[in-house]
Structure 1
């Protein structure tokens, strides 16, 4: 039996050369029940590809797709265009208040040192507003491959690339394990090509965005959709110092070479340290930003390399061999990374 979509296409193709026929003639031509012909004709009418002759009701005529598009799509495009204009006006009106808002925050005269946003859309708008009005620097920590960009794309333009192109310094920190992800590497290549700076380090437990060293966006513990927007200068300055400390010890994100490169030993040192701390595989995987399966492959490779029969023995051998050096999590504390 011919599927309904295919039947509609066949009927439309036949009507192109048999204009002015009736629905009964269509049913007779294709030898299918009238209810199926009716559904196919209704689908064509909905797409504006079929109409009846004004002076002869019941006589069907096929319509060109261009004419159907003009009738069906153009009104929608006009609504979209009008909505975009309205959004632009709203953004411009809000932007006119931005300088006063940020100057008050900088002067410490704001009533709210921390603002909590539990609406993802509101959080995005707050971040977009801060970044769009940034003048000097945006520093970010990205903790997963699903949020490797700083902000969501706007149309065809990536806002982070545009940020760099207008002269704002962009620093982005990723986990070492992000180096093995093709999408992250391609995105970082685009950022670096525009002039951004990207580095990787051992452990990054949560996201962070600092704009112009004046406002910080941090996640709220236990609330996955909540964001705290910090304006208090003392707290923002502290977070910025922690970020600078982590940044100085991080490795440049080299995008031309696939895999971990020179950071593989550091990744394994981190895993050994977490094994020595007694953490389970799934916890270690979350800490270093990989799947549990990938984490277990790392652990298996480490145990084979150390010729260890157990995780405990691997930790003992690694400690005696100096493999868990002072760059590992058991010895390194930056505040941002803990």
Structure 2
């Protein structure tokens, strides 16, 4: 069977598929596996990094890992779709087939009673973020380089699906420049973190149905017990209410235009709303909506509004 085309240059495609085979890699290991020079590998890794397909390892200094396809590929396509040149989009069915081929074996989420390390936890959270329906809540007591709590890919996936992202940090997290920069990035997307003096636990809750909880030694486990989830939710809600929003939360006017508006138009288009209804929902003129819809149809190579909506869903744009 022919391997699905995912819109990458040949070297980048090979490297990404190779990296999916293990939890994380050092550059020395990749050079040995692929037989490439260090310069060639570095150049291709830079390409994958710009596309959001690789991330820093949270458990091995200097190592890198592949971001889960179900999260990384829709984000890549969304960025290309928003760009000035709307070509180079991989076929929607090929992207969907590649994601399906790289999904973990079927089974209930709760069957993940243990993880192989922090990068395994990150992959698990990425898969949950790619399917979230309502809300992701994160309680973060410390800054961990390479952690999914500071991943733009994870945050983008949650927000692109129209879900809410609520983040509470311990005040010492903001002492890290990378965290402060991430807070500014989140604020422009209406998701500024809140800060309290002390966060008692490191936990990520998804849709109130699943939680990833880290113990004092950094080991993580999955929680789906209703009683435990209710307790974690009460703690998260209390911390959120008591938290102070980070930095300047004034949203720039241009944050509501361009890419953010295009994604909202696509989402409402996929829901079957008319141009008039979409215009009323997001507060712009009908002409603006029609221009966005026409651009979406051209960018997605769709012959109808319905087909544009379907392809947007297939590609993970909404």
TM-score of the two chains, using structure 1 as the length reference: 0.42
Bigger Rg, structure 1 or 2:
1
Relative contact order (C-alpha < 8 Å, sep 6+): which is higher?
2
TM-score of the two chains, using structure 2 as the length reference: 0.45
